[in-house]
Structure 1
Amino acid sequence: MLKARQNDNTRMKEWLQFLIRIAAIIVIALLLSLLRVRIDLTEDKRYTLSEPTRRILAGTGNDIFIQVYLDGDMPVPLKRLRRSVKEMLEEFRIAARRKIDYEFINPAETKDPQQREAQYASLYNKGLNPVNIQASDREGGKSQKMIFPGMLINYNEIEIPVNFLKNNPSVSYEQNILHSIEGLEYEMIQTIATVSSDTVYKVAFLEGRNELAEIDVADITIHLAKFFTIDRGSINGRPGILDNYAAVIIADPAVEFSEPDKLVLDQYIMNGGRVLWLVEQVEISSDSLATGETTGLYRPLNIEDQLFRYGVRINPEVIQDLDCMVIRVAVSTGEQQQLVPAPWVYYPRLYPGHDHPITKNLNRVQGRFVNTIDTVGLDPAIRKTVLLTSSAQSRTLTPPLIIRLKEAEQIPDEQLYNKAHLPVAVLLEGIFPSAFRNRMISGLVNDKDFKPKNESVETKMIVVADGDIIRNDVRRTGTAGTPYPLGQDRLTGEMMGNRDFIINCLNYLVDDHGLMELRSREMKLRLLDRTRIRDEKIFWQMINLGLPVLIMIVSGIIYSFFRKKIYTGKG
């Protein structure tokens, strides 16, 4: 009787200890879910938000609702992208103190074709880019399916699209998915920072020297307007007129700068202003090529001395590059003429650098009659970074030039293209000397109290030796015009990196949060060995299925053995 009671007490203690352990595990799990203790053990810290991101999310005033249009049946790489988006959104939600809600939507879910097409049109009009993929049906067949790998971020009745799938034709599909995952945090937080900020930066296109017209920069203006307030105007020699602008764009001027205007720009820079220079020293009319030939003439802009003081020199020479765009030329075939594609060495496909946030994972950039840039001076206070270059097979021509369309029909002599990686765009950062230091300026300004600075505060500028990089093509209909997307190859439909390059330049110039550094994030692409998967598939399936069962059986035998031994010993 006593022995049976002791056994009952022992069993009760065992059950009590078991229940206490279960309760402790549940309590710890609840505490961890409330405390949100998260440890990122990945080598590349892909689940760790940057400090600027956390700061912006913590300061978010109102709720943010995000609709992600990446759901349903899709290939495995896109499922991996979807999982990364969901994980990033969950990290954002925690950092924003649950002020972010999100949902995943399959835009192809509706069975009604008309409703589906209307949904597609609505998403496209809102700014999401469609992508065609190959999907499997239930019968095992293949079909084309349209997806919209992006999201709509809604804040205070403002809705902004974010396209996060990269489409760089120069890298593999897997690399594009990886680059998309790398850029998720930047793409999302940049948009959230824009819509939730109380301060909207102002950017000005300068006018007055035959710069590109509004229609010629219409596409980039529309896309920059998502981040900035965009104005246009002339300086007219008025000091301080640019002080309210975070950045200034000088887009392909054709007339020399006056000394008063140069002084206004110089002092704007001395006070911390940022400038995107898109200027060239050789005047070539692309429109004149319609007649069969055009000329290239040296065109000074009277800013050569100013840019030299800042650390660069634009050379009056035109790049010819074997890695170039293709144009249509008329070729006679008997009595008829046909338009056939031909390489045009005057339109290089420029290479972006891979080591800077502005150009990381950027598509190639289309140039037209591009000049070259030299960095000059050894001032340690000015840091210089080359952003765009020609290919390894290029050369330069010095004006005066006669450029004939028939050159496209000729096979170029590769031995003549012996120059490599000619700089086309340069970022300058640091403290700049004034271009008017030790110069008399009394006749340049009417304000007697005006006192120029001889040295700038810490600031930055970007110099691009091609004004056409920011120019979109225009479809003319009488006096009206419709802009084509900036950087779109009208022959192939390929989107070059021009638009993203300009947007990244402006975001970098005015970036006060340090968000652009997020574009430098790198993740390693760990692909499985497909040959080994095929050869060892059955073996690893047996391991995965059989090993857990074997471990359970062995554990049960060991537990029974020791339990029996303990109680036998007690008996």
Structure 2
Amino acid sequence: MVIMKKMWKNNQARRSVSQLLMAVVAILLLGYLSSFVYFRLDLTADKRYTLSEPTRSLLKDLDKQVFIRVYLEGDMPIGLKRMRRSIKEMLDEMRVVAGSRLAYDFVNPSEEKDARLRQEFHNSLMEKGLKPVDVVESKQEGGTDTRRVFPGVIIHYGSKNIAVNLLSNNPVLSSEENLNQSLQALEYKLMHAISSLVADTVKKVAFVEGHGELGYLDVLDITDELARYYEVYRGFIDTQSPNLDEYAVVIVARPTGKFTEEEKFILDQYIMNGGKVLWLIDAVTVNRDSLSTGETTLALVNETNLEDMLFRYGARVNPVLFKDLQCALIPVNTAPAGEQPRFVPAPWPYYPLLAPRKDHPITRNLNFIKAEYSGTIDTVGTSQAVRKTVLLVSSRYARLVRVPSFISLRQIDEKPVQEEYNQSFQTVSLLMEGKFQSVFTHRMTGKYALPPGKTFREQSLPTAMIVVADGDLIRNEVRGRGSNPHPLPLGYDRYMQQTFGNKDFLMNAVNYLTDDAGLMPLRVRELRLLLLDRARIMESGTFWKTCNLVAPVLLVVLFGVLVNIIRKRKYGRPEKFG
């Protein structure tokens, strides 16, 4: 009986060893096979690891390889490491769909040891459009260490390439919130750039001239940004042979003269045939030169002859100004007469900081938008065929100013009475989408020229337009006008030392109007930012750190004890034979 008992135990032991070996081999084989297959199940509530259908469709239709070079490698802060990981995960997801037609690599832009060569490489990246971020960190031995990183990518497609900056920099948000916004916009930014590169034809955008609109230098910064994705033109409206249909978007940027009826007819029929327009209209004109010399100026109505068109489409740009306690700064000369000028920045209520709508693809996650001598917009009409969305508004503390009205920098010395600033949330920008009625319906139009093959339309095809009641919203400052002009970045305020969201707003507006691929909704994708409770960390951080250190060890010990008990019960029980 002793021999039989030993044989039984040996058989059980061999069987257990065999099962263990088979399990190990199966796990190793499964691991080897899984290295050839990328698979992940997205169980997150916000589906942050799931590609949208427009993205998948675009990636499946790639004709040749898209190569993405990511310049986020090497030693960097924890936040940027998290961003690098998210970029890699996103690119891996894209590669599953695109296969060999999408490839990527990560490059450390600062790995060159030679300082001169490293700086030359950095300069080349900046010339291509990547924006550097200087990271300052404290050293253990004292002092600080500054490193330059480039949180962006350059996407190559055939002979074409485009730089994409991936890190948001909204000064009103914390670094964690900026990082989260960057991750939310990751899919949109990558796919918008890829969509632009793979398009068979480059869409055209035109600035209208001939009515005192802003000049080339005044809109140079936004023109350069648009030129990365579109062909940008400037020109007059040809009333003899209309040719607007070739443009995806027409921009009317702060006209100060009147449009003729023939020009309006051409614009109207361009819209009726599905054309998109971005209107930036000053309904009131203010002489800035008089203000800069310390004099008083008179704000007057600016008549452009576009009022009836916009009214028919569903918007009225009111001939008023408004003052806002949430405002930017203006330099004021505080030196006594006869002395050297001494300029001090002071809040100027006529420079309102507009709040962007938080739940729309055009305005989501934008910084405040800086306006100058802005008007307001009312929606008019009850047509169900046109959907209207407010994009930009004033703050809660706004006050309307009727015109004509005198404006002087001496008004800065007047202490504002908050109770008077009670005309809250004035609309400054409006998106209108749908089918519009022509302003020339029931009018004699036979004398006006139409594009070849086109007939007069009373109702438009489905289209969209955006109206902004401030022409200066698109204007960049220019230093040194004359022989050596130097345009400043659009939205940059040298007195407040920050860049407002003007450029991003306008780029999003044009992208929205031209979005045939359906990518813009990706901008409203929301990833919940799960921040730690800092007060609770201070209160019980040591306890949880100890638990994190001790708990895994205790679990391993407990598991070992349980396994030992089970083995003893299974193999140590004596057998009884009759």
TM-score, with length taken from structure 1: 0.94
Q: CA deviation at 1:8?
A: 4.2
Q: CA deviation at 1:160?
A: 1.6
Equivalent residue, structure 2, for 1:185 = 187
Equivalent residue, structure 2, for 1:129 = 131
Pick from 374, 381, 387 the counterpart of residue 385 of structure 2.
Answer: 381
Q: Is this contact kept in 2: 1:238–1:264, CA < 8 A?
A: no
Q: CA deviation at 1:510?
A: 0.6
Structure 1 portions without partners, runs of 5+: none
Q: In structure 2, what is the Cα distance between the partners aligned to 1:448 and 1:196?
A: 30
Structure 2 portions without partners, runs of 5+: none
The C-alpha deviation readout for 1:22-80, integer Å capped at 9, x for no partner, is 23333444454444332111111111111111111222222233232333333333332
**1:391 has 2:395 as partner:** yes
Equivalent residue, structure 1, for 2:13 = 11
Q: Is this contact kept in 2: 1:342–1:409, CA < 8 A?
A: no
The C-alpha deviation readout for 1:468-514, integer Å capped at 9, x for no partner, is 11111112353442211111113233111111111000000010111
Q: Is this contact kept in 2: 1:186–1:515, CA < 8 A?
A: yes
- The SS at the match of 2:331 is strand
**1:300 has 2:316 as partner:** no
Equivalent residue, structure 1, for 2:408 = 404
Q: In structure 2, what is the Cα distance between the partners aligned to 1:145 and 1:301?
A: 52
Q: In structure 2, what is the Cα distance between the partners aligned to 1:373 and 1:233?
A: 27
Pick from 77, 91, 102 the counterpart of residue 93 of structure 2.
Answer: 91
AA matched with 1:306: M
Q: In structure 1, what is the Cα distance between the partners aligned to 2:160 and 2:273?
A: 33
Equivalent residue, structure 1, for 2:329 = 326
After TM superposition, the structure 1 stretch with the greater mean CA deviation from structure 2, 126-135 or 322-331, is: 126-135
**1:340 has 2:344 as partner:** yes
Q: In structure 1, what is the Cα distance between the partners aligned to 2:29 and 2:460?
A: 59
Q: In structure 1, what is the Cα distance between the partners aligned to 2:317 and 2:545?
A: 63
Q: CA deviation at 1:169?
A: 1.6
The C-alpha deviation readout for 1:104-129, integer Å capped at 9, x for no partner, is 33333444333333333232222222
AA matched with 2:570: I
Q: In structure 2, what is the Cα distance between the partners aligned to 1:75 and 1:104?
A: 16
Q: 1:110 to 1:35 in 2, by over 3 A?
A: closer
Q: Is this contact kept in 1: 2:374–2:469, CA < 8 A?
A: yes
Equivalent residue, structure 2, for 1:227 = 229
- The SS at the match of 2:85 is helix
Equivalent residue, structure 1, for 2:259 = 257
Q: In structure 2, what is the Cα distance between the partners aligned to 1:238 and 1:495?
A: 42
Equivalent residue, structure 1, for 2:84 = 82
Identity %: 46
Q: CA deviation at 1:517?
A: 0.4
Pick from 300, 310, 315 the counterpart of residue 312 of structure 1.
Answer: 315
Alignment of 1:126-525 (within 5 A): 126-139=128-141, 141-238=143-240, 241-293=243-295, 294-332=297-335, 335-445=339-449, 451-525=455-529
The C-alpha deviation readout for 1:1-35, integer Å capped at 9, x for no partner, is 66655544433332222222223333444454444
Pick from 541, 554, 559 the counterpart of residue 555 of structure 1.
Answer: 559
AA matched with 1:519: R
Q: 1:529 to 1:337 in 2, by over 3 A?
A: same
Equivalent residue, structure 2, for 1:44 = 46
Q: CA deviation at 1:140?
A: 5.7
Q: 1:549 to 1:399 in 2, by over 3 A?
A: closer
- The SS at the match of 2:564 is helix
After TM superposition, the structure 1 stretch with the greater mean CA deviation from structure 2, 194-203 or 7-16, is: 7-16
Aligned residues: 571
**1:528 has 2:560 as partner:** no
Q: In structure 1, what is the Cα distance between the partners aligned to 2:108 and 2:26?
A: 41
Q: 1:348 to 1:19 in 2, by over 3 A?
A: same
- The SS at the match of 1:107 is coil
Q: In structure 2, what is the Cα distance between the partners aligned to 1:569 and 1:54?
A: 60
Q: Is this contact kept in 1: 2:70–2:154, CA < 8 A?
A: yes
After TM superposition, the structure 1 stretch with the greater mean CA deviation from structure 2, 156-165 or 451-460, is: 156-165
Q: In structure 1, what is the Cα distance between the partners aligned to 2:552 and 2:248?
A: 62
Q: Is this contact kept in 1: 2:9–2:571, CA < 8 A?
A: no
The C-alpha deviation readout for 1:175-225, integer Å capped at 9, x for no partner, is 111111111111111111111222311111112222111111111111001
Q: In structure 2, what is the Cα distance between the partners aligned to 1:211 and 1:144?
A: 44
Q: Is this contact kept in 1: 2:432–2:466, CA < 8 A?
A: yes
- The SS at the match of 1:174 is helix
- The SS at the match of 1:134 is strand
After TM superposition, the structure 1 stretch with the greater mean CA deviation from structure 2, 296-305 or 47-56, is: 296-305
Q: In structure 2, what is the Cα distance between the partners aligned to 1:122 and 1:47?
A: 33
Q: In structure 1, what is the Cα distance between the partners aligned to 2:569 and 2:418?
A: 87
- The SS at the match of 1:243 is helix
Q: 1:425 to 1:17 in 2, by over 3 A?
A: same
AA matched with 2:94: F
Q: Is this contact kept in 2: 1:366–1:469, CA < 8 A?
A: yes
- The SS at the match of 2:512 is helix
- CA RMSD in angstroms comes to 2.3
Q: In structure 1, what is the Cα distance between the partners aligned to 2:573 and 2:164?
A: 70
Q: In structure 2, what is the Cα distance between the partners aligned to 1:142 and 1:542?
A: 31
Q: CA deviation at 1:383?
A: 0.7
Q: CA deviation at 1:274?
A: 0.7
Q: In structure 2, what is the Cα distance between the partners aligned to 1:152 and 1:409?
A: 50
Q: In structure 2, what is the Cα distance between the partners aligned to 1:481 and 1:315?
A: 34
Q: In structure 2, what is the Cα distance between the partners aligned to 1:156 and 1:138?
A: 47
Q: CA deviation at 1:382?
A: 0.8
Q: 1:281 to 1:154 in 2, by over 3 A?
A: same
After TM superposition, the structure 1 stretch with the greater mean CA deviation from structure 2, 272-281 or 134-143, is: 134-143
The C-alpha deviation readout for 1:77-96, integer Å capped at 9, x for no partner, is 33322222222222222222
Q: 1:446 to 1:491 in 2, by over 3 A?
A: closer
